[in-house]
Amino acid sequence: MKKSGVESEKKFKTHTTFKWLLREIKFFIGMTCLMLVFLTTVWGHYKIPSESMQPTLEVGDHLYVSKFAYGYSRHSMVFNLHKLPFLKKGKLFSKLPERGDVAVFRNPKSDIIMIKRIIGLPGDKIFLKEGRLYINEKLVKRENTDEFLYREHKSSVVKVKKYDETLLNSDKAYSIYERSDEGPLDITNEFIVPDGKIFFMGDNRDNSLDSRAYRGPGYVPLDHLIGRAEVIMFSFKRCKKEENLVCPPFRLMKRI
C-alpha cells in the first residue's frame, strides 16, 4: 500500500509539473506572437549604424519607428520573416509618404535595412548642381547656420558647413551637413522618380550612399518602406571632448 501511495504521489507531481510546463510554454508562445505582431504592425525599434543622417541622427541612436504610417508589406515583418516564400509582394493599407519624412526601408539591391530622408515622390524631377538641390526645377532653400570641425565615428576629423534646408511646399526646416559643394554627389543628372517609387537622400550629403549614388539603393519601391522614424529614445553615442571640435549632445526622447 505504501509503495502504491508513493507511486501515485510521483505520478501526481509529474502530472502537475507537466501541466505547469505546458502552461509556461503556452504563455511564452503567446507573448512571442504578441510581440511579433506588435513589432510588425505598430512600432519598430532600430539602431543607427552610420553617419549618413547627421546631424539629424547620430551613430548609436535608438529609434522608434511607426509601422502603420505607410501601410504594411512583407518588409514590415521582423527578423528575416520577409523571406518566407508564401508572402506576396504589394502593400496593405498603403499610404504615400510625405516629402521630407525620415523613413526606414529595405534596400531593394542589398536587402539591408536603411534610413534616409524622402526627397522625391513618384513623378518628381530631381537633380543637384554645385551642391544645391532642385526639385521639379525649383531650387530648394537652404541657410548656412554654422561651420565647424568634428571627429567622425571612424576617427578622422572633417570640416562641415551646417545648413537649414526647407523643402518645397513645407514650412518645416531640417539641418544638413555639407563638406563642400564640389563632391562627387553634388552634381548629378536629372532623376525622374518612377511611379510607385521613392527617392532618398541622407542629411550628411557628402557621406551618404543614397539614391544619388551608383552603389546606392536607387529608386525604392513603396512596398519596401518599413515605417516613419518618430522618436529618438536614447543614444549610446559618447563623444570625447576635444579642443576646437564639436561633440554631439546626448539625446533622450527627442522627436525627429
The one catalytic residue in 76, 116, 197, 208 is 116
**Given this model, what pLDDT does residue 52 score?**
95
pLDDT at 32: 55
52 is catalytic: yes
User: 10 is written with which cell numbers?
Assistant: 510521483
pLDDT of residue 133: 97
pLDDT at 131: 94
pTM of the model: 0.83
How far out from the chain centre does Cα 202 lie? 11
**Rg of the Cα atoms in the chain:** 24
Q: What was the pLDDT predicted at 13?
A: 59
b/e sequence 12-43, b meaning 16+ C-beta within 10 Å: eeeeeeeeeeeeeeeeeeeeeeeeeeebbeeb
Residue 65: which H helix or E strand, with range? strand 61-66
Annotated active-site residue in 52, 76, 211, 235: 52
C-alpha 167/C-alpha 119 separation (Å) is 8
**In 3D, which of 138, 189, 129, 146 has the Cα closest to residue 166?**
138
- pLDDT score at 10: 62
Nearest CA-CA partner of 97 in 85, 86, 105, 87: 105
219: which strand partners?
A: none
CA separation for the pair 159, 174 (Å, rounded)? 19
Is 175 among the catalytic positions? no
- pLDDT of amino acid 160: 95
Average pLDDT per block of 10 residues along the chain, 256 residues long? 56 64 68 58 82 93 91 82 74 89 96 96 96 96 94 85 91 92 94 97 96 96 95 80 79 82
